[in-house]
Structure formats: structure tokens, C-alpha cells
Amino acid sequence: MRYLIILTMSGCCVLASGAAVAQDRERGQQAMQELNERFDAADTDHNGKLGKKEAKAGMPRVSEHFDQLDADKDGYLTKGEIVGAMIDMKDQREHH
């Protein structure tokens, strides 16, 4: 009986863990969709990158950290740079 209870509890933990992973994946997909929509709307010249003016007008929170997010210091932000910063922030939250 004790063995059955342990197995049942283990199974519940695995299911809960799987559900958490699925929720994280769904949140990540939603965040990416929102980022894509907001970035594309802010990218008024449709060149695939945001200058400081575009960022300020269309993504003000991103604009506040523009220089920190501009990984290659070229004066523009790409989706990749913003996603990289999002991943770094998520990793920092999880490890602290």
C-alpha cells in the first residue's frame, strides 16, 4: 500500500511538472507573438530593426533601456537583441 501511495504521488509530481512546462511554453509563445506584433508596428520603415526614435514611439519600455539592449552597439535594436535580453532576464529571475 505504501508503495502504491509513493507511486501515485510520484505520478502526480510528474504530471504537475509537465503542466508547468506546458504553461511556460505557452507563455513564451504568447510573449513572442506580442513582441513580434509590437516590434513590427514600431518598425515604421520596415527594415527589421528599430532606431531610437522608432523604439521611443512604439516600444517605450524598450526605449528606456535601448543602449543596454543594443548588444552590438550599432544604434539599432533587432528582435534577436530584444529576445536575448528577455532570455537573460528570465534566467536571472530563475537563478536568484
For the stretch 48-79, pLDDT in tens is 999 999 999 999 999 999 999 999 999 999 99
Burial degree of 67 (CB within 10 A; 0-12, 13-18, 19+) = exposed
Which CATH number fits the domain 27-94, given the four candidates 1.10.238.10, 3.10.620.30, 1.10.579.10, 1.20.1560.10?
A: 1.10.238.10
As a dihedral over the C-alpha atoms of residue 24, residue 20, residue 90, residue 28, rounded to 10 degrees, the angle is: 0
Q: What is residue 7's predicted lDDT score, i.e. its pLDDT?
A: 41
Which residue ranges make up each domain of the chain? 27-94
Give the pLDDT confidence of 3-35 residue by residue, as tens digits: 434 444 445 454 556 677 788 889 889 989 999
| Range of lowest pLDDT (22-26, 36-40, 51-55, 81-85) | 22-26
Which pTM value belongs to this model?
0.72
